[in-house]
A and B are shown apart, each in its own frame.
Chain A
Amino acid sequence: MPETVSLQINDQTVTVPTGSMVSTAVAAAGEQTFRRSVTGEARAPLCGMGICFECRVTINGQAHSRSCQIPASDGQHVVTDCGLRIADCGLDAAEVPKFQILNPKSQILIIGAGPAGIAAAIRAAESGKQVCVIDDNPVPASPGGQIWRADQAQPSSPEAREWFARLRQVNVQFIHGARIFAQPETGCLLAETVDGSCELRFEKLILATGARERFVPFPGWTLPGVTGAGGLQALAKSGWPVAGKRIVVAGSGPLLMAVAAYLKKRGAEVLLIAEQAGWNRLLRFGVALLGQPSKIAQAIGLKKQLAGVPYLPGCWPIAAKGDGKLEAVTMRRGDKTWEVECDYLACGFYLVPNTELAGLLGCEVSGGAVTVNDFQQTSLSNVFCAGEATGIGGLELSLVEGQIAGLAAAGREDEAQGLFAERAKQLRFAEALNQTFALREELKTLPTAETLICRCEDVSFERLQRQTSWREAKLQTRCGMGPCQGRICGAATDFLFGWGMESIRPPVFPARLENLTR
Chain B
Amino acid sequence: MTFDVVIVGAGIVGAACADEFAQAGLRVAVIEAGQIGGGATAAGMGHITVMDDSEAQFALTNLSQQLWRALADELPPDTEYIECGTMWVAADDEEMDEVRRKQAFYQQRGLPAEVLDAKALAEAEPNLRAGLAGGLRVPQDGVTYPPCGARFFIERAQSRGAEVFLGKPVVELTGKGARLNDGTFIAAGLTVNATGSWAPELTPGVNVQKRKGHLVITDRYPNFVRHQLIELGYLKSAHSISTDSVAFNAQPRKTGQILIGSSRQYSSNPVATAPGSVPTDKQSSNPVATALGSVPTDKQIDQPILTRMIDRAIEYMPRLAKLSVLRTWTGFRAATPDKLPLIGKSAIENLYLATGHEGLGITTSLGTAKLLADQVLKRTPKIPIEPYLPLRSMQEDGHA
Contact = CB atoms under 8 A, between A and B. Distances in A.
Contacts of B224: 87
Interface stretch (A124-132, A145-153, A434-442, A502-510): A502-510
A197 B28 CA distance: 54
Contacts of A506: 301, 328
Nearest to B220: A86
Contacts of A502: 287, 290-291
B329 A505 contact: yes
Interface string B276-296: 000000010101001111010
Contact of B322 (A38, A87, A512): A512
Interface string B199-230: 00000000000000000101111111000000
Nearest to B294: A503
A86 B321 contact: no
B192 interface: no
B326 interface: yes
B324 A483 contact: yes
B307 to A, nearest CB: 5
Given A93-B322, A364-B292, A513 B218 contact: yes
Interface residues of B, number: 47
Interface string A493-518: 00000001011111100111110111
Given A87-B222, A506-B328, 6 more contacts: A63-B219, A87-B221, A471-B35, A472-B35, A475-B147, A512-B322
A443 interface: no
B394 to A, nearest CB: 33
A359 interface: yes
A364 B152 CA distance: 37
The interface residues of chain B, by DSSP majority, are classed as mixed
Interface in B289-330: 290-293, 295, 301, 303, 306-307, 310-311, 313-314, 319-329
B321 A64 contact: no
A511 B293 contact: no
Contacts of B328: 505-507, 516
Most chain A CB neighbours (cut-off 10 Å) among B287, B311, B322, B329: B322
A506 B307 CA distance: 13
Nearest to B80: A478
B42 interface: yes
Given A365-B292, A475-B37, A510 B219 contact: yes
Contacts of B326: 481-483, 485, 507, 510
A38 B218 CA distance: 15
A513 B314 contact: yes
Contacts of A38: 220, 255
B307 A483 contact: no
Interface of B: 35-38, 42, 78, 147-148, 151, 216, 218-224, 255-256, 260, 283, 285, 287, 290-293, 295, 301, 303, 306-307, 310-311, 313-314, 319-329
A485 B313 CA distance: 24
Contacts of B285: 468-469, 471-472
Contacts of B219: 63-64, 483, 510
A471 B42 CA distance: 11
A144 B35 CA distance: 44
Contacts of B78: 476-477
B293 A379 contact: yes
A10 interface: no
Interface string A350-379: 000000000100101100000000000001
A503 B325 contact: no
Contacts of B306: 516-517
Contact of B35 (A93, A362, A475, A516): A475
B54 to A, nearest CB: 33
A91 B127 CA distance: 10
Interface in A136-158: none
B310 A516 contact: yes
Given A84-B256, A468-B285, A516 B216 contact: yes
A414 interface: no
B216 A469 contact: no
A500 B290 CA distance: 11
A505 B36 CA distance: 22
A503 B256 contact: no
A503 B287 CA distance: 10
A518 B325 contact: no
B321 A513 contact: yes
10 contacts: A86-B222, A88-B223, A91-B221, A91-B323, A185-B303, A500-B287, A505-B328, A512-B324, A513-B323, A517-B310
A92 interface: yes
B38 A471 contact: yes
B46 to A, nearest CB: 12
Interface in A360-401: 362, 364-365, 379
Contacts of A362: 292-293
A92 B147 contact: no
B325 A512 contact: yes
A411 to B, nearest CB: 26
B282 to A, nearest CB: 12
A75 interface: no
A471 B291 CA distance: 12
Nearest to A355: B292
A130 B314 CA distance: 38
Contacts of B323: 91, 512-513
Nearest to B38: A475
B295 A503 contact: yes
A318 B220 CA distance: 32
Contact of A503 (B37, B255, B290): B290
A330 to B, nearest CB: 32
A184 B303 contact: yes
A251 B295 CA distance: 36
Nearest to A463: B78
6 A-B pairs with the lowest CB-CB distances in the bound complex, closest first: A514-B321, A475-B147, A87-B223, A517-B307, A517-B310, A87-B224
Contact of A510 (B319, B321, B325): B325
Contacts of B327: 481, 485, 505, 507
A158 to B, nearest CB: 39
Nearest to B327: A505
Contacts of A503: 290-292, 295
A62 interface: yes
A518 B38 contact: no
B315 to A, nearest CB: 11
Contacts of B311: 517
A197 to B, nearest CB: 12
Contacts of A63: 219, 221, 324
A516 B328 CA distance: 9
Given A91-B323, A512-B322, A513-B322, A504 B310 contact: no
B319 A92 contact: yes
Interface string A104-137: 0000000000000000000000000000000000
A14 B295 CA distance: 50
Contacts of A185: 303
A363 B99 CA distance: 50
A87 B220 CA distance: 9
Contact of B290 (A64, A471, A512): A471
Nearest to B225: A87
Contacts of A88: 223
A510 B324 CA distance: 6
A481 B301 CA distance: 18
A88 B222 CA distance: 9
B37 to A, nearest CB: 6
Contacts of A64: 219-220, 324
A514 B315 CA distance: 11
A170 B38 CA distance: 52
Most chain A CB neighbours (cut-off 10 Å) among B148, B151, B314, B323: B323
